[in-house]
């Protein structure tokens, strides 16, 4: 199969920006929706879904989540995915074991959660008074919140809803006996890789390897199987060498097909949108470097705090910054050629 970069670019956009559908169908089509709490100008999950869900409004996912067969969980990063996709990763065994004291704390909290049915972190903090701890970005937060996050990651708890943006937890129900023989683990790993590829395809070889490394945080118990999983993926996926790099996509797709035609709409995309998420692929497709600068000191930013890639047809021609000041929406747009 002879494939060109132009065909890969059009394929990437057209397959990701499918015809808008229902929320449930869109999430199933995507396989996973990355979440991020920054609200400038809206959360990443809302900005992603607004292009793919008919009549979507900010917060629809959070409002409807409790009634849907979804899970908040860590996949290649944190977000929302169909429950059966989440179950492929559990029971999850983190690389770092708990101390005896931590295990006792978790057992007590789990019993408390089971008794209450669903709990807000402040209820756990009021009951156990675990104190404060240093969080991952150097600040302080309630130790109870940190413990709940850890229990959620390990599969002891699940998020049943959010109250004002804060996770409310319940005990996670075990999904029965899960075979852990080599054939079963390989099948589950391959299924998870297919979810990644289905969302982010087409992927250059370097990016496919990178996403499998990220996936190891979702299934740390299978980290040593990454290399074999990558070999299997490259064998079964559709692929072609374009210039100096091998590219991969779902086996049943044909990126050269004329069906992959991006429309002419102009869109502002979240930095986490599947079309622009892979920065290596971004540079191959559009010839310039896009960077997420929310955590870059203001004086060193080149694009802006939350610069939204500006997509037109099959080109990302620049970026836009949106901000609400004094009740009015302000915007600024930049183009990668400097005009």
pLDDT value at residue 30 = 98
Number of CB atoms found within 10 A of residue 159's CB: 21
Residue 127 falls inside a structural domain: yes
Which residues of the chain form beta strands (DSSP E)? 33-34, 70-74, 78-82, 132-134, 140-142, 157-163, 166-171, 203-204, 238-242, 245-249, 266-268, 308-312, 315-325, 328-335
User: What is the rounded average pLDDT of the residues 211-220?
Assistant: 97
Output 211 or 327, whichever has higher pLDDT: 211
SS3 state at 25: helix
Of the candidates 226, 261, 257, 255, the residue with the CA atom closest to the CA atom of residue 241: 255
Residue 246 falls inside a structural domain: no
Residue 140 falls inside a structural domain: yes
pLDDT tens digit sequence for 69-79: 999 999 999 99
pLDDT tens digit sequence for 61-110: 999 999 999 999 999 999 999 999 999 999 999 989 999 999 999 999 99
pLDDT value at residue 339 = 45
Identify the domain containing residue 153 by its residue range.
100-171
Beta partners for residue 82, in sequence order: 70
Domain count, the chain: 1
pLDDT tens digit sequence for 298-307: 999 999 999 9
Residue 123 falls inside a structural domain: yes
- Over pLDDT 90: what percentage of the chain? 86
Residue 178 falls inside a structural domain: no
| Cα–Cα distance measured from residue 298 to residue 300, given in angstroms and rounded to the nearest whole number | 5
For residue 338, pLDDT over 70 is answered with no
For residue 176, pLDDT over 70 is answered with no
Task: State the average pLDDT for the chain.
Answer: 93
For residue 270, pLDDT over 90 is answered with yes
Return the half-sphere exposure (C-beta side, CA atoms, 13 A cut-off) of residue 125: 12
For residue 178, pLDDT over 80 is answered with no
Residue 187 near residue 233, CB atoms below 8 Å? no
User: What is the rounded average pLDDT of the residues 157-169?
Assistant: 96
Residue 189 falls inside a structural domain: no
pLDDT tens digit sequence for 20-71: 999 999 999 999 999 999 998 899 999 999 999 999 999 999 999 999 999 9
pLDDT value at residue 136 = 46
Number of CB atoms found within 10 A of residue 243's CB: 9
pLDDT value at residue 45 = 98
Residue 249 near residue 237, CB atoms below 8 Å? yes
pLDDT value at residue 131 = 58
Per the document, the length of the chain is 339
The encoded tokens of residue 125 equal 């903090």
| Cα–Cα distance measured from residue 91 to residue 154, given in angstroms and rounded to the nearest whole number | 7
User: What is the rounded average pLDDT of the residues 200-215?
Assistant: 98
How far apart, in Å, are the Cα atoms of 321 and each of 37, 93, 191, 308, 335?
A: 17, 41, 37, 6, 12
At residue 177 the predicted structure's pLDDT band, cuts being 50, 70 and 90, is low
Q: How far apart are the first and last CA of the chain?
A: 38
User: What is the rounded average pLDDT of the residues 249-274?
Assistant: 96
Residue 23 falls inside a structural domain: no
What does pTM read for this prediction?
0.92
Rg from Cα positions in the chain: 21
At residue 173 the predicted structure's pLDDT band, cuts being 50, 70 and 90, is confident
Residue 105 falls inside a structural domain: yes
Residue 197 near residue 250, CB atoms below 8 Å? yes
User: What is the rounded average pLDDT of the residues 277-283?
Assistant: 97
What ranges in 154-204 are assigned the alpha helix state H? 182-200
Look up the CATH number of the domain holding residue 153: 1.10.10
The encoded tokens of residue 246 equal 């091998």
| Cα–Cα distance measured from residue 178 to residue 18, given in angstroms and rounded to the nearest whole number | 34
């Amino acid at each position: 199969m002879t494939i060109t970069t132009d065909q890969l670019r059009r394929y990437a956009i057209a397959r990701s920006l499918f015809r808008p559908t229902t929320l449930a169908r869109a999430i199933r089509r995507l396989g996973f929706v990355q979440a991020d709490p920054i609200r400038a100008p809206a959360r990443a999950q809302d900005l992603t879904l607004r292009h793919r869900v008919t009549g979507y409004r900010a917060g629809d996912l959070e409002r409807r989540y409790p009634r849907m067969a979804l899970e908040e969980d860590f996949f290649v990063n944190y977000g929302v995915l169909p429950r059966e996709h989440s179950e492929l990763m559990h029971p999850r065994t983190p690389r770092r074991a708990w101390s005896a004291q931590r295990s006792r704390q978790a057992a007590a909290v789990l019993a408390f959660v089971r008794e209450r049915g669903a709990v807000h972190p402040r209820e756990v903090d009021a009951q156990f008074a675990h104190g404060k701890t240093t969080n991952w970005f150097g600040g302080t937060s309630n130790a109870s919140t940190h413990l709940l996050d850890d229990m959620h990651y390990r599969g002891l708890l699940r998020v049943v809803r959010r109250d004002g943006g804060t996770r409310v937890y319940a005990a996670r129900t075990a999904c029965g006996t899960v075979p852990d023989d080599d054939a079963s683990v390989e099948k589950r790993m391959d299924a998870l890789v297919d979810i990644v590829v289905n969302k982010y395809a087409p992927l250059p070889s370097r990016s496919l390897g990178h996403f499998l490394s990220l996936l190891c945080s979702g299934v740390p118990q299978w980290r040593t199987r990454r290399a074999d999983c990558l070999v299997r993926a490259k064998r079964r996926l559709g692929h072609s060498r374009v210039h100096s790099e091998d590219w991969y996509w779902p086996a049943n797709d044909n990126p050269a097909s004329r069906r992959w035609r991006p429309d002419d709409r102009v869109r502002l995309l979240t930095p986490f949108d599947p079309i622009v998420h892979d920065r290596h692929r971004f540079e191959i497709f559009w010839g310039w470097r896009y960077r997420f600068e929310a955590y870059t000191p203001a004086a060193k930013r080149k694009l802006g705090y939350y610069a939204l890639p500006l997509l037109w047809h099959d080109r990302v021609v620049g970026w836009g910054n949106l901000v609400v000041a004094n009740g009015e929406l302000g915007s600024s747009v930049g183009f990668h050629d400097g005009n």
